[in-house]
Amino acid sequence: MESTDLLITILGVGLVLVGLAGAVLPALPGLPFVFGGLWALAFATDYARVGMFTLGVLAVLLVVGLLLDFVAGSLGAKKFGASPQAVAGSLVGAFVGAFFGLPGLVLGPFIGAVAGELKAQRTVGQATVSGIGAWIGLMLGIVAKLVIALVMIGVFAFDFFINVAPATAT
């Protein structure tokens, strides 16, 4: 492996790891990072083990994952009657909560959604229900992104390991 290929491989692995973190952290675009990292890994092998068909499948998974994330958050919020302010508050709460570890990731979206509803002049009861809905929608979106990211990695790994070059005799 040439030094350039090694650097591209390291970059690819790094992007995939950042992408996995981004699948659960709201501040990072996880799926695009995973896709970019997998593309870099395919490039490092001159597309000999992972070709354009597989990269096309990964691109479709990327688009599906991004749409699923958007739809899950919106549907969860709408199902419980959340206002646009609650959805925005939930996203802000998730971002701020990321700085406080797991408790912040779990409670941040809820607190943000409730604050958004109170800003929209809703009652505390309405704010709580909408906050729960926005939180559930955001959590479903995170689960969807993580599942899609793992499927992308699995599809890539399957193609990568199925296309092993035959060993040469010495």
| pTM of structure | 0.77
Residues 6+ apart with CB under 8 A from 82: 90, 113, 117, 130, 131, 133, 134, 137
Quote the pLDDT of residue 9: 94
**Where residue 26 falls among pLDDT bands split at 50, 70, 90?**
low
Quote the pLDDT of residue 31: 95
Quote the pLDDT of residue 74: 66
Share of residues in the chain with pLDDT > 70 (%): 92
Provide the sign of the torsion angle of the four alpha carbons 31, 147, 135, 84, taken in this order.
positive
- Identity of the residue numbered 5: D
Cα dist from 25 to 121, 134, 146, whole Å: 29, 16, 10
Over residues 148-163, the mean pLDDT reads: 94
Q: What mean pLDDT, rounded, does the chain reach?
A: 86
pLDDT digits (tens, 9 = 90+) for 103-126: 887 788 888 888 988 998 888 988
Quote the pLDDT of residue 27: 66
pLDDT digits (tens, 9 = 90+) for 49-91: 899 999 999 999 999 998 887 677 667 777 788 888 888 888 7
| Contacts of range 163-169, beta carbons closer than 8 Å, 24 or more positions apart | 163/48, 163/49, 163/50, 164/49, 165/48, 165/49
**Where residue 133 falls among pLDDT bands split at 50, 70, 90?**
confident
